[in-house]
Amino acid sequence: MTEGIGPVRVPIMERVLGANDDIAAATRTDLARRGIFAVDLIGAPGSGKTALLEATLRLLKGRHEPAVLVGDLATRRDGDRLARWCDRVVQISTGEGCHLEAGQVRDALRGLDLRGVDLLLIENVGNLICPVGFDLGQAAKVGLFSLTEGDDKAAKHPYLVTEADLLLLNKSDLAPYVSFDRAGFESDVRLLNATVPILDLSARTEEGIDAWLAWLDAGVASVLRGRPTA
Amino acid sequence: MHELSIAEALAARVEQHAPVRARIRGVEIVVGALRGIEPEALQMCWQAVTAETALAGAVLAIEQRPWTLTCDRCGREWTSVEPFVECTCGNSTPRPHGTDELDLVAITVDANEPGEAAATGRPAAEPPGALMAEPT
């Protein structure tokens, strides 16, 4: 038996989620090469993620060729709702997982024929916290808040607000019925993220939804412009 | 509870670095304020994930990086565990800045005590599979 030197500290310095990030990076490269603009939609349960995507898919008919991935802990209900409006919908069951991970998105995409697709909408699991830190390979992260959740939700979820490329404030049609300090919400957002656009809309009445569709148009156009020529 | 996924990812990372026939005594990570990680929850998940594995008993040390707050009114800059706090000058809206690192900094390896539970090392992840149909 050799007498050892006792415990040794070995420096490593690596990202803990490096395995997830590596898969996401591969997906990001693949999607960009195919000219697909991918959006990771993050919002609380009941904020209207699926309702927004239903309206979006209906209004974008003929304008873009979308594919949709939808993550839920259980049930296929969201996937079934969205499949009425889109041929390429994959429901991802996360089981106990409170967020989507890059491997799940990659696997779902591998089962899809992506020819002709220019827009990938990923509805993350309803949760304002866990999904933010897991890169999926998206081009843009969109945070969805709604008036019924209360005006303090931006301040309480700083990571999402900081990381988001766009914030949506849904259920604007309910403004007369709920007390939501819109200016206070925005000033919390601005302390965390000076530049992120905030769009007010209602997925139900479609009020304000044109600005969201125009933002998607611009995203698709930017990916097509940046697409490397083979 | 993203702490569970993080604990699982951390255990996988550590196992990749663990020499064969050595016991891992300690694991050090740093976490930026933006991550919103609850250290107690992460410790609990780490215990659960590593129980009855080669990493059982490895002590997890979590260094949390706080928020940096900047006051636009008096110019003061300080750190805080809370992002929204008042400045001593009375300004109620100092600007919070957080970082989102989540890094495995170091492991402590004890080669004297390989034991039966010695870590075996885990192969690196397979490269991600190709998507269907090449771009046209």
Predicted confidence (pLDDT) at residue B42 exceeds the cutoff of 70? yes
Rg (C-alpha) for chain A, rounded Å, is: 19
In chain B, which residues have their Cβ closer than 8 Å to the Cβ of A154?
none
Q: Do B100 and A159 touch (CB under 8 A)?
A: yes
Q: Do A133 and B100 touch (CB under 8 A)?
A: yes
In chain B, which residues have their Cβ closer than 8 Å to the Cβ of A23?
128
Which domains are present in chain A? Answer: 37-224 (3.40.50.300)
Q: Do A16 and B93 touch (CB under 8 A)?
A: no
Across the interface, of A9, A18, A19, the residue whose CB is closest to B108 is: A9
In chain B, which residues have their Cβ closer than 8 Å to the Cβ of A8?
108-111
Q: What is the mean pLDDT of chain B?
A: 89
- In tens, the pLDDT along B20-30 reads 888 999 999 99
Q: Do A10 and B6 touch (CB under 8 A)?
A: no
- In tens, the pLDDT along B50-80 reads 999 999 999 999 999 999 999 999 999 999 9
DSSP letter assigned to residue A71: E
Show the DSSP H helices in A45-147 as ranges.
Answer: 49-60, 77-83, 102-110
From residue A16, give the alpha-carbon distance in Å to each of A47, B28, B31, B102. 30, 11, 10, 6
- In tens, the pLDDT along B84-98 reads 999 999 999 999 999
Q: Pick the residue of A2, A5, A12 with the most B CBs within 10 A to test the interface with B by mutation.
A: A12
The per-residue pLDDT string of chain A (230 residues; one tens digit each, 9 = 90 and over) reads 455 678 999 999 999 999 999 999 999 999 999 999 999 999 999 999 999 999 999 999 999 999 999 998 888 888 899 999 999 999 998 887 899 999 999 999 999 999 999 999 999 999 999 999 999 999 999 999 999 999 999 999 999 999 999 999 999 999 999 999 999 999 999 999 999 999 999 999 999 999 999 999 999 999 988 876 54
**Neighbour-count burial of A5, counting CB atoms closer than 10 A to its CB (0-12 exposed, 13-18 middle, 19+ buried):** exposed
Q: Are strands A66-72 and A166-170 parallel, antiparallel or unpaired?
A: unpaired
Which domains are present in chain B? Answer: 2-110 (3.30.2320.50)
C-alpha B71/C-alpha B95 separation (Å) is: 6
Cross-strand bridge partners of residue A66: A119
Q: Do A15 and B93 touch (CB under 8 A)?
A: no
Q: Do B127 and A10 touch (CB under 8 A)?
A: no
Q: CB B72: neighbour CB atoms within 10 A? A: 12
